[in-house]
Amino acid sequence: MRSRIALGVVAAVGLAALSGIGPAQAVIGGEPVQEPYSFMGSINRDSQHNHVCGASLIAPQWAVTARHCIMNIDTGVYNTPDQLHVRFGSLSLLEGGVWADVAEIPTPPGNPFPGYGTDIALLKLKEPILNKPVQIAPTVSEGETRLVGWGRQCVGDTAACPPSITLNQRDIPRLPDLDCWQGIIHVYQENCYSPTSSKWDSGGPALTKVDGQWQLVGAASRLVQDDGDGQAPTIYTDVVAWRAWIRETTGIPTL
């Protein structure tokens, strides 16, 4: 059973409280992916070579990512759909895959900023694509989870540790919520994982295996008290907990 932490109104915490979330959170200690994930997306801002975050294709015309990925954290201004483009199904940040333009960016109602537990957004593509989407898992598993992303694989300053050009993955255990308490985790809408993610992984998927198939359980949100040593646990928004909102927003009751 998951440990529970009394958080009061933490779900309504706004932008200032999440100022520690960078423009994208990487799979440290991971290994190169050998076969592309058709649903794995790289969000690019304004150009084909400006990766900012990961995303997961959940339907031919819909993807899910972290809400802070589609806004300027310093100013609180959201990107417009025409500024964002997504490359799906490639192992490389720079080429291959399917290039898709964004038409709409739905976010959860209520608080206009990504609070704890609400760091999630949808991307509606201008046109459906043929890549196979990932299915949202029925529940969040307590077992092994696979994290996937293009984030940097070392620790240190950004110049010394740029994003990985090649997609990487790592299988890690899920941790008790108490291990992420310093990140003020929302225990009903977020999950805690072993130290793995870092800059440029935000929005990317946490996957669990169901009947031999990888299914989506989370979207990378933030690190817990990142000291730059690669040892900070990672908090992921619980995509499963947002299933009802995703179904309502997309109009797809089977998601």
pLDDT reading at 92 higher than 50: yes
- What is the value of pTM for the model shown? 0.85
161 and 112 assigned to the same domain: no
Give the pLDDT band (50/70/90) at residue 12: very low
77 and 107 assigned to the same domain: yes
Q: In this predicted model, what pLDDT tens digit does every residue of 143-199 receive, in sequence order?
A: 789 999 987 666 655 566 667 889 999 898 888 888 887 667 888 899 988 765 556
229 and 205 assigned to the same domain: yes
Mean pLDDT for the chain?
A: 82
172 and 117 assigned to the same domain: no
pLDDT reading at 29 higher than 50: yes
116 and 150 assigned to the same domain: no
Q: Examine residue 164 and state whether it is found in any structural domain, yes or no.
A: yes
pLDDT at residue 158, rounded to an integer = 58
Give the pLDDT band (50/70/90) at residue 1: very low
Q: Examine residue 11 and state whether it is found in any structural domain, yes or no.
A: no
pLDDT at residue 200, rounded to an integer = 67
Give the pLDDT band (50/70/90) at residue 222: confident
Q: Examine residue 246 and state whether it is found in any structural domain, yes or no.
A: yes
Say which residue, 101 or 195, is predicted with more confidence. Answer: 101
pLDDT reading at 55 higher than 80: yes
Give the pLDDT band (50/70/90) at residue 129: very high
Q: Examine residue 255 and state whether it is found in any structural domain, yes or no.
A: no
Total tally of structural domains belonging to the chain: 2
128 and 246 assigned to the same domain: yes
pLDDT at residue 8, rounded to an integer = 26
pLDDT at residue 50, rounded to an integer = 84
Q: Residue 217's domain is classified under what CATH number?
A: 2.40.10.10
pLDDT at residue 14, rounded to an integer = 36
pLDDT at residue 62, rounded to an integer = 98
pLDDT at residue 112, rounded to an integer = 65
Give the pLDDT band (50/70/90) at residue 9: very low
123 and 194 assigned to the same domain: no
140 and 229 assigned to the same domain: yes
Spatial CB neighbours of 159, under 8 Å, sequence gap ≥ 6: none
233 and 147 assigned to the same domain: yes
| Domain range enclosing 50 | 16-21+38-133+242-250
Q: Examine residue 152 and state whether it is found in any structural domain, yes or no.
A: yes
Q: Examine residue 220 and state whether it is found in any structural domain, yes or no.
A: yes
